[in-house]
Amino acid sequence: MIKQLDLKTSVGKTKIGPKSQDTGFQSKIWKRFSRHPGAMIGTIVFTVLVLAVLLGSLSPYSAVNSNVLERLQSPSWHHLMGTDALGRDLLTRILYGGRISLAVGMMVVVITLFIGVAFGAVAGYAGGWIDNVLMRITDAALTLPSLLVLILISSILREIEMPFFEKNNVVTIAVVIGLLSWMTFARLVRAAFLTLREMDYVTAARGLGASHLRVVLAHILPNAVGPIIVESTLQLGYAIIEESGLSFLGFGIQQPTPSWGNLLSNAQENFIKYPWLAIFPGVMIFLAIISVNYIGDGLRDAFDPYKVLSKVGEV
């Protein structure tokens, strides 16, 4: 529906024709992407965030060790974002917390991609009763009140001792969030596979003796990559917000490991007197999500074959 809309609405304003030189699919996508101002700014902001987070260890302060002499200082040249109740430099904790939050986000994307693509590809390619069973499972998963289930599972997991899944570390939280959010991928990939598997080139590949696995991985999947990439960026945003929400409630990443969410949760105790504790972690979450969403928006336009270049990012 949205694709159609773009086609119809922008037709009047476009200059198709001599200007668009055909220099291959990828460069075309890049060209479209780079003309989307929101997406470009988003890319820059997100890159800066990732770099800052990676360079966090250059900070002269420790992210976990307390320093009683410097408790609750307001932002200054020494502590750009102030210090927390244990005297830890907030900027340092935010940078380390960013590693955790972004790592959870990216792991969720990988997990949901893995489950969702597997589900969707098998369902769409096989069809018949397999499709039916897999899609009913997807439907059932979509009826879960996901935030409530997320709270429940993580509240349980934070008390269980298990190898790899101890005490709500990055992996645990990512797996829990991932298990509850692969469904969009499954539907998306299935829809793409349903149309693609009927194409002549697929029949040709089969006729040439390619195995089902090869057809799926080498011939169909690459053609479904556009929507998958777009959805991945959106998923990254959701995952970051869900991790911070969980940690905010105290069910996510546990202290003293910082994450953007549990920094906010910590701030709750005395944020009225020390507002910087609440302001900065939230700004980071906001910047990460809005930049990722704009990148996703730009990618959606770039991968949309009907989309014609326009000045404003389409919804």
Partner 1 sequence: MGQFIVRRLLQAVGILFLLSILFFILVNLAPGGPLAGYGGARHLPPEQAVILRKQLGLDKPLPVQYVIWLAGNDWMRVDQSAVASGTSYGTRRGILRGDFGFSFQTRQPVLTVISERLPNTLYLMVATLLVALAIAIPAGILSAVRQYSFFDISVTTFSFAGQAIPDFWLGLILIIIFYAWLKNPVTGDSLLPSGGILTIGVPFSLLDALQHLILPLATGALGWVAWYSRFLRSSMLDVIHQDYLRTARAKGLSERVVIYKHALRNALIPLVTLFALDLPYIFSGAVFIETIFAWPGMGRLYYQAALQRDYPVLLAILIIGAGFILLSNLLADILYAVLDPRIRYS
Q: Which of 147, 204, 217, 225 binds partner 1 (CB under 8 A)?
A: 147
Q: Is omega for the bond preceding 163 within 30 degrees of 0, making it cis?
A: no
Nearer to partner 1, 193 or 294 (CB): 294
Q: Is 294 in the site for partner 1 (CB under 8 A)?
A: yes
Going residue by residue from 220 to 249, which x/- string records binding to partner 1, judged by CB under 8 A? -----------------x---x--xx--xx
Stretch that binds partner 1, among 5-13, 62-70, 97-105, 124-132 (CB under 8 A): 5-13
Beta bridge partners of 89: 83
Q: Which is nearer to partner 1, 22 or 159 (CB)?
A: 159
Assigned token pair, 271: 């944020």
Q: Is 56 or 237 the residue whose CB approaches partner 1 more closely?
A: 237
Min separation Cβ 9 and partner 1, Å? 5
Residue 278 touches partner 1, criterion: CB under 8 A: yes
Of 24 and 305, nearer to partner 1 (C-beta) is: 305
Instruction: Choose the stretch contacting partner 1; rule: CB under 8 A; options: 56-64, 98-106, 114-122, 286-294.
Output: 286-294
Q: Is residue 162 within the footprint of partner 1 (CB under 8 A)?
A: no
Residue 79 Cβ vs partner 1, minimum distance, rounded to whole Å:
19
**Is-contact 263 274, C-beta < 8 A?**
no
CB of 142 to partner 1, least distance (A): 8
How far apart, in whole angstroms, are the C-alpha atoms of residue 51 and residue 255?
24
Q: Using the structure block, give the residue that is written with the tokens 């260890």.
A: 57
> Binding of partner 1 at residue 68 (CB under 8 A)?
no
Q: Give the separation between CA 312 and CA 292, rounded to whole angstroms.
A: 17
Backbone angles phi, psi at 89, to 5 degrees: -65, 120
Query: What minimum distance in Å lies between the beta carbon of 45 and partner 1?
Result: 11
Does residue number 1 form part of the binding site for partner 1 (CB under 8 A)? yes
* Residue whose C-alpha is closest to residue 190's, from 238, 134, 137: 134
Question: Between residues 49 and 215, which has the closer beta carbon with respect to partner 1?
Answer: 49
48 contributes a contact to partner 1 by CB under 8 A = no
Nearest residue to 292 via CA among 120, 101, 7: 101
Question: What is the token pair recorded at 229?
Answer: 């990439």
In angstroms, how far is the first alpha carbon of the chain from the final one? 11
Q: What single-letter DSSP state applies at residue 88?
A: -
Distance, CA of 214 to CA of 180 (rounded, Å) = 29
Distant-in-sequence, close-in-space partners of 124: CB < 8 Å, separation ≥ 6? 131, 189, 190, 191, 192, 193, 194, 197
Residues within the interface to partner 1 (CB under 8 A): 1-2, 4-5, 8-9, 38, 139-140, 143-145, 147-149, 151-153, 155-156, 159-160, 237, 241, 244-245, 248-249, 251, 264, 267-268, 271-272, 275, 278-279, 281-282, 285-286, 289-290, 293-294, 297, 310-315
